Structure 1
Amino acid sequence: MYQNKTFLAIIPARSGSKGLPNKNIKNLCGKPLMAWSIEAGLQSKYIDEVVVSTDSEEYAKIAREHGAQVPFLRPMELSLDTSTTFDSIKHTIDFYKNQLNKTFDYIVLLEPTSPLREVKDIDQAIEILFLNQNTEAIVGICKTESQNPAFLINLTHTNTIEGYTNKNFKPIRRQEIEDVYFFEGTIYISKTEILLQKQNFYHHKTMGYIVPKWKSLEVDDEDDFLMIETMMKKHILKN
């Protein structure tokens, strides 16, 4: 709880990953991948409950072993490749309200594929959100460098290149370009009522929580996993 407001952390962990099979329980530096997100949520000063939404009894068992609540198995129709994260969030909110008679003022989404977040990211993001009374959500963002539009190109039908924004290929130093950010998966927080209304964390009253490049890595495939393992050893386990 923070400033008399309650927080539910939801960790969506379906079992049907195609890019890296069973990635959510793959061993990362001695723990199943999703355990890093579970433990970060449990260590937060402000989160009241951490729940894992999964379609797998095996995943549910592992989640409970690491301290998460798993009061249901997610229906298969909400666990397809075409299912959205919002589908699982809404199902969780509805289950807590209708089956457990519990509601929360804020939802904190902790994607298990972003295990490099630290507990301080969760707590700082909550504090920053509350300092800005005109905002309703906060999400993780990271400054893009090599992928800045100033350095991007289009490929023409003759396979020649043309600048995406820098049409004349004018030499540009990094110090001269405008900062541009991309969405990443470290943290998502929203007022529950607004999330249900917008069905999205992204809107005009959403703040950005800036994270460094190394922390923005997300697990999609084996290469991502290996890079994250290296960053975990360098930045998290070292400390």
Structure 2
Amino acid sequence: MRNLAVIPARGGSVRIPHKNICDFEGRPLISYSIEAAQKSGLFDMIMVSTDDEKIAAVAREWGAEVPFMRSAELSDHYTGTFAVTKDAVLRLENECHQFFDSVCCIYATAPLLTPKYLKEAYELFVSSHADSVMACCEFNFPVQRAQYVDDDHCPHPFMPDCMPMRSQDLKKAVHDAGQFYFYAKNRFHPVDKHQEVVRVFELPRHRVLDIDTPEDLALARVMFRAVKELGLD
């Protein structure tokens, strides 16, 4: 199988300017994702999809390829990573005559992602014959006890019957970790309308970060150092 890694990294970050290449423990943030993909040994090509020349230069410096620049239409705040990944796949086919059997979309803001987890997720992807594998993480609080607050600041449970139950009696819930996804090529070239087969690969909480604000970035640095110092897997 020929495998492609796509790392989306647009240049228009508002809350953290040039977030994807900001300094993170002495290196550009995106370099960690590139390195994890490289060291996994899974990919025949690792490319960065960006609309920004500075990001493109950093990506190339760290060994990723930037065969073309992303269009402005796919570089706004509303375009999702699947659309960006699909665009990269189709342009590689049409413009560069490069074809792949599977694609892994890896977030540029994943400094705690390691090759080990990419390899384990890929093994699940292959062995399960899934159309896609999504990296997920367990919620750190029972979602069945979630509540909303009305205009009078009064709480209302979404699932009242679950409120008196013990935590250990409630089903574990996971959420999209926002770290990576594996896709089979049929996700980009659907030949029939079969129901998509999706599998979940669960990451430990200490390997999951969501970096959107300066506060997130500061906490990410603390977590990165803690994981390193404690030798967590």
Same fold (TM over 0.5): yes
In terms of mean alpha carbon deviation, does 104-113 or 157-166 score higher?
Answer: 157-166
- 2:221 matches 1:217: no
Shift of 1:115: 2.1
- 2:156 matches 1:162: yes
- SS of 2:190 mapped into structure 1: helix
The 8 Å contact of residues 140 and 184 in structure 1, kept in 2 or not, is answered as: yes
User: Residue in 2 aligned with 1:87?
Assistant: 83
RMSD between aligned alpha carbons?
A: 2.0
**What is the one-letter code of the residue matched to 1:39?**
E
Q: Write the deviation string for residues 51-75 of structure 1: whole angstroms up to 9, x where unpaired.
A: 0011111111110000000111111
Shift of 1:232: 1.4
CA separation of 1:58 and 1:157: change in aligned 2, threshold 3 A: closer
The 8 Å contact of residues 145 and 162 in structure 2, kept in 1 or not, is answered as: no
Q: Hey, what's the Cα distance between the residues in 2 that align with 1:23 and 1:168?
A: 40
The 8 Å contact of residues 3 and 103 in structure 2, kept in 1 or not, is answered as: yes
Q: Write the deviation string for residues 4-50 of structure 1: whole angstroms up to 9, x where unpaired.
A: x1110000000001222211011111111111101111111221110
User: Residue in 2 aligned with 1:194?
Assistant: 187
Q: Where do 1:30-41 residues align within 5 Å?
A: 30-41=26-37
CA separation of 1:204 and 1:144: change in aligned 2, threshold 3 A: farther
User: Residue in 2 aligned with 1:65?
Assistant: 61
User: Residue in 1 aligned with 2:52?
Assistant: 56
Q: Hey, what's the Cα distance between the residues in 2 that align with 1:52 and 1:11?
A: 5
TM-score (norm 1): 0.88
Q: Hey, what's the Cα distance between the residues in 2 that align with 1:58 and 1:168?
A: 50
**What is the one-letter code of the residue matched to 1:141?**
C
Q: Where do 1:1-239 residues align within 5 Å?
A: 5-133=1-129, 135-146=130-141, 148-167=142-161, 169-170=163-164, 172-197=165-190, 204-236=196-228, 239=231
Q: Write the deviation string for residues 70-126 of structure 1: whole angstroms up to 9, x where unpaired.
A: 111111121112223233212211221122111000010000122211011111111
**What is the one-letter code of the residue matched to 2:22?**
K
Residue segments in structure 1 that go unaligned for 5+ positions in a row? none
Residue segments in structure 2 that go unaligned for 5+ positions in a row? none
Q: Hey, what's the Cα distance between the residues in 1 that align with 2:111 and 2:83?
A: 22
TM-score (norm 2): 0.90
